[in-house]
Amino acid sequence: MGVTHPERVAEIDLEALRHNVRHLRRVAHPARVMAVVKADAHGHGAVPVARAALEAGAAWLGVAHIAEGVALRRAGIEAPVLAWLHTPASDFTAGVEHGLDLGISDWELEHVVAAARELERPAIVHLKIDTGLGRNGCPPEQWQALLDRAVAHQEEGLIRVVGVFSHLAAADEPSRPETDLQIRAFRDAVAAAENAGIDVEVRHLANTPATFSRPDCHFDLVRVGLGLYGLSPFSDQDSADLGLRPVMTFSTVVSNCKEVPAGQGVSYGHAYRTQQPTTLGLIPVGYGDGVPRIATGAPVLVGGRTYPVVGRIAMDQFVVDFGATGLVGTPRSPLGARAVLFGGADAPAVEDWAAAAQTINYEVITRIGDRVERVHLNVDPENDDLA
């Protein structure tokens, strides 16, 4: 009787991820690759993804929060890890103690220096210039002052500045002029750092879109997130166009299936009403699992065909319409069949769900929730016990 397929699962193909890393390394060559594993590796599981990325030759790891970097260290990962988004409540002491590289835009410098002083251990620092994104990063007018402070602390032996970096605003639209302006501002900032006496080992600016579309901003290191996971940041190119393989397959099991008459209202508010006698399938994932609530109409693969989500997506479940002829009368009931939302051969793409949800592929994968089991496929046998 039982169905062996896990009820709600995001399968993470680590061999696809390693393929993507190797491909990104070729694209970025001679620059090296920082694998960005923030937000639990965009929902793919930070520790197994970090290990697979390093196996495939990523030189660095990147995270947003110090706590995310500390978690990688606690899992035994010793590769360089950069963390760049802090608050005055961040645990800078833990960051320095665990040998994380810390991104510094301004006020963080004094916190990092205090931690280094307390631990009697120099902090490794990358200085961040705001070349136009308007989020964090040091404004160009204050860059020289930040450099002077950093050099002074470096001479005291409290920090070691190894990098200068910045982040792009519009690289997913390669024709936008902002990227050229940002590259120019970045070059100026690097030159100022060198003039201030800093030996800049790694200059890094590119994200996934710039890695593919702007070789002139690869510098020494590219920071790739989305590309690791096999997805395209461009609206006019898909994964295959970029030589990438999607890593996550999100699926569940059909939990109910019934024939209904014409005029049956479906789900909250009866936003959908059947036009004819049909068969409805119940898919037991909803916004409590990270399925976007507004994604009505998105496709789901069941038994080799795709069917649209009808009616409102609820917290735990939504409905697909198998149609008047779709599954009615077939000997095999879809009850218990695998339902694939996205990923894998013949299944809908993450981008189909992103379009239905009026969002981007980044958000769809990252929001898949904790009720969805992560199963990592193709784990390196040497790391099997650790994954």
Ligand X SMILES: *Cc1c(COP(=O)(O)O)cnc(C)c1O
Which string of DSSP letters, residue by residue, matches 49-94? HHHHHHHTT--EEEESSHHHHHHHHHTT--S-EEE----TTS-HHH
Q: Three-state DSSP class for 129?
A: strand
- 258 is a catalytic site residue: no
* 167 near ligand X, rule: CB under 6 A: yes
* 233 near ligand X, rule: CB under 6 A: yes
Min CB(321)–ligand X separation in Å? 35
Residue of the chain from 179, 208, 252, 296 that contacts ligand X (CB under 6 A): 208
Cα→Cα distances 107→104, 113, 255, Å: 8, 11, 53
* Binding piece for ligand X, criterion CB under 6 A, among 4-12, 223-231, 296-304, 377-385: 223-231
Min CB(54)–ligand X separation in Å? 17
Min CB(133)–ligand X separation in Å? 9
Q: Which long-range contacts (CB under 8 A, 24 or more apart) does 326-334 make?
A: 326/278, 326/279, 327/257, 327/279, 327/281, 327/303, 328/259, 328/278, 328/279, 332/303, 333/257, 334/254, 334/257, 334/281, 334/302, 334/303
From 38, 229, 272, 287, the catalytic residue:
38
Residue of the chain from 18, 111, 223, 312 that contacts ligand X (CB under 6 A): 223
Min CB(143)–ligand X separation in Å? 17
The nearer residue to ligand X, 35 or 372, going by C-beta atoms, is: 35
- 38 is a catalytic site residue: yes
Helix ranges, 103-259 (H): 108-119, 140-155, 178-195, 208-213
The nearer residue to ligand X, 95 or 233, going by C-beta atoms, is: 233
Min CB(19)–ligand X separation in Å? 17
Is the peptide bond preceding residue 30 cis, with omega within 30 degrees of 0?
Answer: yes
The nearer residue to ligand X, 36 or 104, going by C-beta atoms, is: 36
* 84 near ligand X, rule: CB under 6 A: yes
Active site residues: 38, 268
Q: Contact positions toward ligand X, by CB under 6 A?
A: 36, 38, 84, 167, 207-208, 223-227, 233
